[in-house]
Amino acid sequence: MNTHPLSRRQFIRAAGVTIALPWLETLARATGPAAAQRFVCVANPFGMIQDAFFPTGEGLNAALPGNLASFEALRGKFTVFSNIDHGNNGGHGGTHMFLSGVKSSEASSMPDGNISLDQFLARQVAGQTRFPVLNTAAGPVGGGGVELCWTRTGVMVPPVQQVSRVFRMLFVDDPAELSAALGVDYEQQGSILDAVNGQARGMSRRVSGRDREKLDQYFTAIREVEKSLEQEKAWLSRPRPKVDAKEPKDGTVSQQLPILFDLVALALQTDSTRVATIEVPGSFDTSAMGIEEKGYHGYSHHGKDPVLMEGMRKVERYQMVHLAKFLTKLQDLGLLDSTQVLFGSGMGDGSAHTNKNLPVLLAGGGYKHRTHVILPDAAEKRVPLCNLYLSMAQRFGAEAGTFGKSKGTFGELS
């Protein structure tokens, strides 16, 4: 037997590839993933009552409204923007373009279709984490759902809707027989892709120039699917991180929302993903707010009735309190400055069904935050929300010159 020290060292290194260490918080803080860029979007379908969301005055010391009282300790770590939107209308129909800036009907004319920001960023880090993107919702999506996430080809990405399922995806290993079956599935899908790819390439020599362009687009899609399959297959044999938490029980939307925030924080902390979304469903119950159970959608149609408006404020405040706790947790973990957290809605005012002046809050990410930025209100000077998204994508590491209908970058926080 060769007992040369170099051979032993090589053997140990080789063994280290297949022997998984447990997830260690200290190690995670000291290694590369801690410095990686991350993105989280939290969105609701009905907007916010303006006087409860937008600060009074401008700049770092702007006075916070009642629903942002829990953000006082985070001053300097977040910014609310006034007069920013996508320049669209359509009420509930316009909410679905919140994270893309592009209507589904316009997608075919755009270079990247109506891809949402989460999916766009996930392409930048594909293969680096088990889940390139983690799309979730705090319980059943209904009653005017967000429909937040879209692929480049215009397909809506459904969120994982129960906290128990999110937990199992992140932290419970698949049984050995399931992993083996998935491996076979990946092999079969790869063989099918090889076959159709070969047939298409044979056709490309006999078709017109216009059809050849369509085939080129097809080849690009095939390559993306092949790459995705290889990345997913590579994670089959790697154990999931072990965390000091038990599988949560599913409950009402209001019960699941704080749990979901905790799970997304754990997902970022363990580097299971670097891109995540949380949808607050229209089916959000109001039982935890101590108000009459009229439903989130019912309160959103307040018509400026004082009683209904007060109920709506309580529903919104509940969301913001738990968002502030999430940001504080990321700060305590040392992750907030490397995580861009976007909160907002494609609806500005749920009662008036307007898509103007969207409630948009950006936290973390290492920006020079100013609490409240008031952008130009005049139509010819309005700043597209996609300008902010483009700057966020560039900070994340994307080499992008445009996003959605952007007209430039966003320099107000630099």
Above 50 in pLDDT, residue 119?
Answer: yes
Above 80 in pLDDT, residue 229?
Answer: no
User: What pLDDT band is residue 173 in, cutting at 50, 70 and 90?
Assistant: confident
Average pLDDT score over residue span 368-375: 97
Token output for 240: 């999931």
Above 50 in pLDDT, residue 351?
Answer: yes
The whole-angstrom separation of Cα 48 and Cα 54 is 9
pLDDT at 179: 52
First-to-last alpha carbon distance for the chain, in angstroms, is 61
Question: What are the φ/ψ torsions at residue 196 (nearest 5 degrees)?
Answer: -70, -30
| pTM for the predicted model, two decimal places | 0.81
Of the segments 2-11, 150-159, 391-400, which one has the largest average pLDDT value?
A: 391-400
pLDDT at 292: 78
Average pLDDT score over residue span 66-74: 97
User: Is the pLDDT higher at 98 or at 91?
Assistant: 98
The closest of 318, 325, 359 to 73, measured between CA atoms, is: 325
32, 271 contact by CB (below 8 A): no
307, 291 contact by CB (below 8 A): no
Quick one: CA dihedral 231, 232, 238, 244, positive or negative?
positive
pLDDT at 2: 42
The whole-angstrom separation of Cα 387 and Cα 85 is 10
Average pLDDT score over residue span 7-24: 38
Token output for 388: 């902010």
256, 163 contact by CB (below 8 A): yes
Average pLDDT score over residue span 365-391: 96
Contacts of 342 (CB under 8 A, 6+ apart): 39, 40, 41, 42, 117, 360, 361, 362, 392
409, 394 contact by CB (below 8 A): yes
Residue with tokens 């891109």: 275
Q: What is the pLDDT of residues 380-392, one digit of tens each?
A: 899 999 999 999 9
Mapped onto helix, strand or coil, the DSSP state of residue 251 is coil
Average pLDDT score over residue span 116-136: 94
Burial 315-342 (b: 16+ CB within 10 A, else e): bbbbbbbbbbebbbbbbebebbebbbbb
The closest of 246, 248, 239 to 270, measured between CA atoms, is: 239
The whole-angstrom separation of Cα 260 and Cα 164 is 9
pLDDT at 92: 74
78, 369 contact by CB (below 8 A): yes
Q: What is the pLDDT of residues 304-349, one digit of tens each?
A: 889 898 989 999 999 999 999 999 999 999 999 999 999 999 998 8
Average pLDDT score over residue span 226-238: 60
pLDDT at 203: 59
